[in-house]
Structure 1
């Protein structure tokens, strides 16, 4: 299991993939008004699981309860970025914090059993006060993130 460093744990609202440099300003201009009038809101951190499931896990995660505010934010981001040609997501929005990626399933049963015991656990809640546009560069040691822009909520 390759565990995610705590400082790299985040909620992905929209993964854009490879983006041409010239489009980054357009993305920022579309995201700014989506975030500008939005109030700070709270999300609940609850439950643990695996994608696609506990039987054949590839990704281990901690859940985020889908609040109305988070769902609306996600939908608004999907809408404005679709106007720039980014495809809307086909899968249901499933907010989560990735905590580990499984490279080899040999010997992981004890870890999976332990994570399963937290499937309904309550871990707390956090205030969402900023939305970040991040650059992600995949390297052999994992993803390297850098902030492109931040959009403060009020």
Structure 2
């Protein structure tokens, strides 16, 4: 009998002071709303969600990532901007975005080509690099919500040096998701 693991490939985010301050300010300003905040230690940019994956495939996945990453150099980007997924009438996710995200998009494209070589099809058409900050269950005051987040539009949040990507296993528990590292993939030094 083979087992499966819930996997995703991501860039782990280590929040700096300005990030923590903005995150805390948003939590305080939106405390009246029914939101499910991401644990700050779990913040990550998902490059590819693999979902429930047969354990027999994990070594092939690791090799495909290594092969697709072998010529990828570390790079810098910045977390800047705030937005929502869903409509203005029914927002679902509040996120932080990235400025100059071409390198992130190229990284995701390279990874997907590696996965296609082992028969794993793309999971989405349009990759939007982002960090999920909170999931929106229901808003009591949509107008106030959008007024608050508009204060942070285009605000610089933090610089980010992308030095590695990580294959995580996600274990869902009552208290929230727990992420275990399956494999680290360092990028080439510049």
TM-score (norm 2): 0.74
Specify which of 104, 109, 125 is matched with residue 138 of structure 2: 104
Matched-pair contact (CA < 8 Å) for 1:36–1:152? no
Corresponding position of 2:128 = 94
Corresponding position of 2:116 = 82
Gaps of 5+ in 1: none
1:116–1:53 distance in 2 versus 1, CA, 3 Å: farther
1:66 is displaced (CA, Å) by 4.7
Specify which of 34, 42, 53 is matched with residue 19 of structure 1: 53
Alignment RMSD: 1.7
- Name the CA distance, whole Å, in 1 between partners of 2:184 and 2:106: 19
- Name the CA distance, whole Å, in 2 between partners of 1:112 and 1:136: 31
- Name the CA distance, whole Å, in 2 between partners of 1:9 and 1:139: 17
Matched-pair contact (CA < 8 Å) for 2:69–2:111? no
The 4+ residue runs of structure 1 with deviation greater than 6 A are none
SS at match of 1:58: strand
Instruction: State the structure with more CA Rg.
Output: 2
1:142 is displaced (CA, Å) by 2.1
Specify which of 54, 67, 82 is matched with residue 33 of structure 1: 67
1:144 is displaced (CA, Å) by 1.5
Corresponding position of 1:70 = 104
SS at match of 1:85: coil
Gaps of 5+ in 2: 1-34
Matched-pair contact (CA < 8 Å) for 1:49–1:62? yes
Please say if 1:121 is aligned against 2:155.
Answer: yes
1:29 is displaced (CA, Å) by 0.5
Deviates most, 8-17 or 122-131: 122-131
- Name the CA distance, whole Å, in 2 between partners of 1:113 and 1:46: 18
Name the one with the larger strand percent: 2
1:120 is displaced (CA, Å) by 1.9
Matched-pair contact (CA < 8 Å) for 1:60–1:98? yes
Deviates most, 118-127 or 5-14: 118-127
SS at match of 1:44: strand
- Name the CA distance, whole Å, in 1 between partners of 2:176 and 2:144: 24
1:108 is displaced (CA, Å) by 5.8
